[in-house]
Amino acid sequence: MHNQLKFLLFVFGFMAFLSLTGCAPATVNNPELSFPPVPLADGKDSVGEVRVSTSSSSLGAFRAGKEMPTGHSGPLKDIYFEFDSYTLSADARSTLKANAEWLKANPSARAEIEGHADERGTSEYNMALGARRAQSAKNYLITLGISSNRLSSISYGEELPVCREKTKYCWQKNRRVHSATTLFSSSS
């Protein structure tokens, strides 16, 4: 009986050791998961680039108490969507092609792609719809040759409308993707 107790203690101890040490985590190198460099307080970012200029983001305009930026306020133009859709129309694809050409001509630029929705639907649904709209625009820009590490996406759902009237015209203006740009130069 004494030997059985020793054996059981040994087995439980060995199992405890294995469960506490486990296996080393696998490392995955996925370029799609890379993020743009993080801006630091001195205006440089984590890879030594200096931010030169930025076009207005919707959140920045909101925080500053300004009107929401539209596709006419920066180098990249807004695209618009049908109700409850994140499918890119022919007009949206044409606009994104022009945006891609601008990004190709300005290789130091990065774009934050903002997805927006009108006020109809729940906040949660509109946040998810805005995310799908931003992602569809981002994916299309990638197919046009823009590197994914130059693009980020965010959804504001219905939270940052450009128009606050409860009309079809206004709702159409709010169903959009807006792209804010940041230009960088090397800090050599």
Per-residue pLDDT of the chain (188 residues; tens, 9 = 90+): 667 666 666 665 666 655 555 544 443 343 333 334 444 444 444 444 444 445 566 676 666 666 665 656 678 999 999 999 999 999 999 999 999 999 999 999 999 999 999 999 999 999 999 999 999 999 999 999 999 999 999 999 999 999 999 999 999 999 999 998 887 655 44
The answer to whether residue 20 is domain-embedded is: no
The answer to whether residue 134 is domain-embedded is: yes
- Domain residues for 64? 48-186
pLDDT at residue 46, as a whole number: 44
The answer to whether residue 22 is domain-embedded is: no
The answer to whether residue 66 is domain-embedded is: yes
Number of domains into which the chain is organized: 1
The answer to whether residue 56 is domain-embedded is: yes
Angle between helices 90-105 and 123-143 (to 10 degrees): 60
109-116/151-157 β-pairing = parallel
Alpha-carbon torsion 163, 169, 175, 177, what sign?
negative
The answer to whether residue 23 is domain-embedded is: no
Residue owning tokens 């130059």: 150
